[in-house]
Amino acid sequence: MILIVDMNSTENPFGFHEFVLPIVAIAEELEKCTVKHYLEVNEKSLNGYDKIILSGSALKDTVTFDQTARFKWLKDCGKPVLGICAGMQTIGLVFGGRVEQCREIGMTEIATLKANPLFSSSFKVYALHNYALAPSAEFEVLAESAKCVQAIKHRQKDIYGVLFHPEVRNNGVIQRFTEAFP
């Protein structure tokens, strides 16, 4: 079963429809899903889930950047995790990375730098962000655009992050994440 974490602030109810429900639609074709808001998630609430996906959020919704303590469970999590946009940024912050200004909106070409189970080669993605992640040394950079890091993987754990939005374009990234960790 997949836990999909809604990373939108409670003041942004529209983000649920834009950033969470499309992930559910893709993942539910392969495995049963449950959605919880990030405020409801802690180590105990992870029991019963095999994989975790952290959603994206609206451009100006960076509420999780200041709440990394709520995500400390990521450090001890033994489950595969995929962070999308705000999800990737939050993962990076938890592990000592930093966010920096980098605005990309629309179709963006990215290049794969390191083999991984989620994607390969160069391809176009849908980007929607004001910030990029400068990951800590605990992460490998899997892909980049001309402006910033687009995908990461933790060096010892199955924790991945993509800055682009595979729920908009490149649904196969979510499908391959779901299938790569049965």
List, by residue number, the catalytic residues.
85, 165, 167
CB-side neighbour CA atoms (13 Å) of 31: 23
Taking Cα atoms as reference points, which of 170, 134, 167 lies closest to residue 152? 134
Contact assessment for residue 30 and residue 80, using Cβ atoms and an 8 Å cutoff? no
Contact assessment for residue 127 and residue 163, using Cβ atoms and an 8 Å cutoff? yes
| C-alpha separations of 27 from 5, 35, 57, 159, 173 in Å | 13, 11, 18, 17, 10
